Amino acid sequence: MHRKTILQAKEDLLQKKYSAVELTKAIYQRIESVEPKVQAYVHLTQDIALNQAQEADQKLAAGQDAPLLGIPIALKDLICMQDTRTTCSSKMLDQFIAPYDATVVSRLKKAGAVILGKTNMDEFAMGSSTENSWHHPTMNPWDLSRVPGGSSGGSAAAVAAQECLAALGSDTGGSIRQPANFCGVTGLKPTYGRVSRFGLVAFASSLDQIGPMTKTVADSALLMNVIAGNDPQDSTSADVKLPNFMNSLERNLSGLKMGIPKEYFTSGIDPEVEASVQEAIKTLESFGMKKVEISLPHLQYSVATYYIIACAEASANLSRYDGVRYGYRSKNSDNLLEMYMNTRQEGFGEEVKRRIMLGTFVLSSGYYDAYYLKGQKVRTLIKQDFENAFEQCDVIIAPNSPITAFKLGERVNDPIKMYLSDIYTISANLAGIPGISIPCGISKTNEMPIGIQLMSKHFDEESLIAVGHQFQLNTEHHLKQPPL
């Protein structure tokens, strides 16, 4: 049962091949058997999940239906769910119990989903390897000595290891697409504003976006139908018409133009990664898609721009963790100032402190214009590059990462090398456009998954779903399983 996709399990439940309770118990058995090796979760919500599964069975017996009725799903541990721990994998929030549901959680519950638990992540979503978690690192199910990517590494590993039928992650600079790529699953970052951020613990408010991590593109389309849409509780939520994403699965790709950005295929990319992506491009050409070379001239500035803007926003957002209202509070303080300093010193991990300091520096008097203001201007240029490119093509095709998953510990002491892990994904967040990672091969050198990244213009997730789904219908890369 744990090997099913959402759509397969939905069909089985309607045909009464097994009950939602049986399906949920089967997933928990799977978690019990592989979790000691993978460590994808930080806490499970077994009692809540079994109650939700029982309710789903009652509704199924009464002939009722809902998009995710009885489907077990995991949440990244920065998405609030009422009366459960939401720790952001940080000591700072280790005992924090969320007082309300995030909008996406309300929508999942309304759609009948069974919430299994919270998945591991880099602390406050800051990292590319899920090694910055205060709880423990997560292992890649394909090779337990390698990272699953980050920051949604727990969600990606849980889907790849069949410890849930799907999961939600968040993507600030590639945190859905890069781990999906490393773990051989499908990961969709929607357009900024397409999915409500209400109840998502903020890292960088102008970049963060929640999205689905699934076994197939079709499952992502189904999840998008549930979680997307305007939300009056989130002022950055876009009030745009919501399509039925499932309709995109039937679309004909003939005549669609795919842009190949020359800046993505330069030195530094692993030859096997490039070969797999080029092979995927040939497959897409066989569907009648046309290849167009495009240029994104400001791409080289995206990493620097991202780390200025994201760290500035993080420094402002994380100032709320002061030991006064909620979260961790240092016990070794004689006065208020000491309490603030000790709380933040003891409560945050090294990477979070590094980014707070970077962000505070670029916002400080005398440096604001030189760094933050200039970063915002370059961000506009990057956005314009994409707008110009989409005048020539419908989707952009690129790698997700220049390499396959690296070894645990390999980049921990080299922040610059770690930051460059996201070089191919960051620009989509700066521009606010949607992107998806789809498995497209396996490396012969280390037998690790390789993914292809598709990007499209604002609010055109439908093109990504259409192209991705046709690719999966005609290839078997997404069906390959890790040797757990």
pLDDT reported for residue 332: 86
CA pair distance 150, 148, nearest whole angstrom: 7
CA pair distance 315, 317, nearest whole angstrom: 6
CA pair distance 198, 366, nearest whole angstrom: 34
Domain spanning 6-256+392-479: which CATH class is it, in words?
alpha beta
Residue 401 bears catalytic tag: no
> Which one is catalytic: 89, 90, 133, 151?
151
pLDDT reported for residue 415: 83
Spans of all domains in the chain:
6-256+392-479
pLDDT reported for residue 421: 81
CB 150 within 8 A of CB 40: no
Residue 237 bears catalytic tag: no
Residue type, 325: R
pLDDT reported for residue 47: 97
pLDDT tens per residue, range 349-385: 999 999 999 999 999 988 999 999 999 999 999 999 9
Angle at 28 between CA 36 and CA 89, to 5 degrees: 55
Give the predicted TM-score (pTM) of the model: 0.97
Rg (CA), the chain: 21
Ramachandran angles phi, psi of 297, nearest 5°:
-60, -25
The residue assigned the tokens 């915002």 is 376
Residue 365, CA distances (Å) to 247, 361, 370 in order: 51, 9, 10
pLDDT reported for residue 484: 85
Tell me which residues of the chain have a pLDDT lower than 70. Answer: none
Residue 437 bears catalytic tag: no
pLDDT reported for residue 471: 98
> Which one is catalytic: 90, 129, 152, 175?
175
> Which one is catalytic: 4, 10, 76, 189?
76
pLDDT tens per residue, range 195-217: 999 999 999 999 999 999 999 99
pLDDT reported for residue 417: 83
Question: Of the candidates 28, 75, 30, 71, which has an alpha carbon nearest to the alpha carbon of residue 52?
Answer: 71
pLDDT reported for residue 9: 98
